C-alpha cells in the first residue's frame, strides 16, 4: 500500500491541511505524473515488503507554493559522479533528467525549512516539466521508505534501513571493497544485503528487545521471497553482507534512529 502521510499545521505561509501524499497508486509513469501532482506535494509508493511491485517517490516542485499541502522547494539525494556516489541538490526550475541515482537518503525541504526524509537503495530518476509544476519521479525495484519528517512518522522498516546505510557508509572508505561493491550492486542486491544482515543480527537472542517479532518475521519472509525471485542478487547481497561483517569485526545491532543515513 502507498504511504498516506498526514496533514501539516495550518499557519500563515505554512502548509495547509491537505495530505502530502495519497494511497492507491500501483504504477507511475513520467507522462502521468503531473495528473497525480495536481493536489499533492509528494506521493510515496514504498514497494516491497509494504506493497507489491516497484517503489516510487514522486515530488512536485512549483515556482510558487500552493499553501494547501507540504510544498517541496529543494530535493537532495545521491547521484553518481565519475562512478562514485556524490550528494546533489536540485531546486526550481528542475533540470530535465533521466538518470540513475545512488543509494542513500532523499530529503525534500520546503521554503520554511521543514523537511520529509526517505531512504532508497537506488534506482532511476526522471524529471518532467509541465504547466508550472516540475515532477521528480524516483523509481526503484527495491523499497523507498519514509524515515520521518514534517508530514508523518517514519516507516517501521525505514529506520532499520537508515541504520544499515549508516553502517555501510562508515565501512565504505575510499576504494575499499565495501565501497566498490555498494556502488556497483543493483538496488535489489543491496536490499538483499540489508535483509540478510538484518535477519542475522535481529534473529540473535541478544537483539530480541531491539525489534518486534513481527519485524523479524517480515524480514525472514523477505529473505525467502528474494531467494525465490532474485537468486543472483541474493548471492551478491551475501557477499556484501560478509564484507560488512569482516570490516566491522562483529555484527552489532544496526541503529534504531531514523536520523542516520548517507548524510550521517
pLDDT tens digits, one per residue of 37-83: 666 789 999 998 877 789 999 999 998 887 777 889 999 999 988 76
Asked if 75 and 172 count as a contact pair (C-beta separation under 8 A), the reply is: no
**Quick one: pLDDT at residue 240?**
93
Q: How many CA atoms lie within 13 A of 208 on its CB side?
A: 2
Give the max Cα distance, the chain.
56
Q: Which residues pair with 105 in a beta bridge?
A: 119
What's the confidence (pLDDT) of residue 237?
Answer: 95
CB 134 within 8 A of CB 60: yes
Chain CA centroid to CA 98, Å = 18
Cell of 159: 529506520
Question: Which residues have CB under 8 Å from 23's CB, separation 6+?
Answer: 1, 2, 3, 4
CA distances from 225 to 195, 211, 228, 229 (A): 11, 21, 5, 6
Residues of the chain scoring pLDDT < 70: 1-39, 83, 173-175, 205-210, 248-264
d(CA 252, CA 264): 18
Whole-number Å distance between alpha carbons of 23 and 228: 28
Q: What is the pLDDT of residue 147?
A: 93
Taking the C-alpha atoms of residue 138 and residue 130, their distance in angstroms, rounded to an integer, is 17
Task: Map residue 138 onto helix, strand or coil.
Answer: strand
68, 18 contact by CB (below 8 A):
yes
Percentages helix, strand, coil for the chain (3-state, rounded to 5) are: 30, 25, 40
> Can you name the residues that pair with 43 across neighbouring β-strands?
58
Predicted TM-score of the model (pTM): 0.80
Q: Which residues contact 221 (CB under 8 A, 6 or more apart)?
A: 49
- Alpha carbon 49 to its chain centroid, in Å, reads 13
Cα(51)–Cα(136) distance, rounded to whole angstroms? 21
Amino acid at each position: 500500500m502507498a504511504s498516506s502521510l498526514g496533514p501539516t499545521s495550518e499557519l500563515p505561509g505554512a502548509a495547509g491541511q491537505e495530505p502530502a501524499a495519497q494511497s492507491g497508486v500501483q504504477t507511475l509513469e513520467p507522462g502521468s505524473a503531473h495528473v497525480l501532482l495536481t493536489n499533492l506535494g509528494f506521493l510515496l509508493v514504498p514497494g516491497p515488503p509494504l506493497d507489491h511491485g516497484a517503489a516510487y517517490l514522486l515530488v512536485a516542485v512549483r515556482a510558487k507554493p500552493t499553501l494547501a499541502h507540504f510544498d517541496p522547494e529543494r530535493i537532495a539525494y545521491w547521484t553518481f559522479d565519475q562512478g562514485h556516489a556524490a550528494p546533489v541538490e536540485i531546486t526550481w526550475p528542475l533540470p530535465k533528467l533521466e538518470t540513475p541515482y545512488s543509494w542513500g537518503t532523499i530529503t525534500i525541504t520546503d521554503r520554511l525549512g521543514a523537511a520529509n526524509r526517505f531512504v532508497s537503495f537506488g534506482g532511476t530518476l526522471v524529471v518532467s516539466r509541465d504547466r508550472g509544476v516540475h515532477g521528480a519521479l524516483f523509481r526503484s525495484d527495491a523499497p523507498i521508505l519514509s524515515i520521518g519528517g514534517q508530514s508523518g512518522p517514519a516507516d517501521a522498516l525505514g529506520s532499520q534501513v537508515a541504520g544499515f546505510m549508516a553502517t555501510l557508509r562508515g565501512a565504505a572508505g575510499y576504494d575499499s571493497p565495501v565501497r566498490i561493491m555498494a556502488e556497483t550492486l543493483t538496488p535489489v542486491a543491496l536490499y538483499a544485503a540489508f535483509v540478510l544482515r538484518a535477519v542475522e543480527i535481529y534473529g540473535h537472542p541478544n537483539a530480541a528487545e531491539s525489534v518486534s517479532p513481527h519485524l523479524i518475521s517480515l524480514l525472514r519472509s523477505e529473505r525467502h521471497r528474494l531467494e525465490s525471485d532474485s537468486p543472483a542478487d541474493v548471492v551478491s547481497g551475501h557477499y556484501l553482507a560478509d564484507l560488512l561483517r569482516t570490516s566491522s569485526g562483529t555484527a552489532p545491532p544496526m541503529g534504531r534512529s531514523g536520523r542516520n543515513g548517507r548524510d550521517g
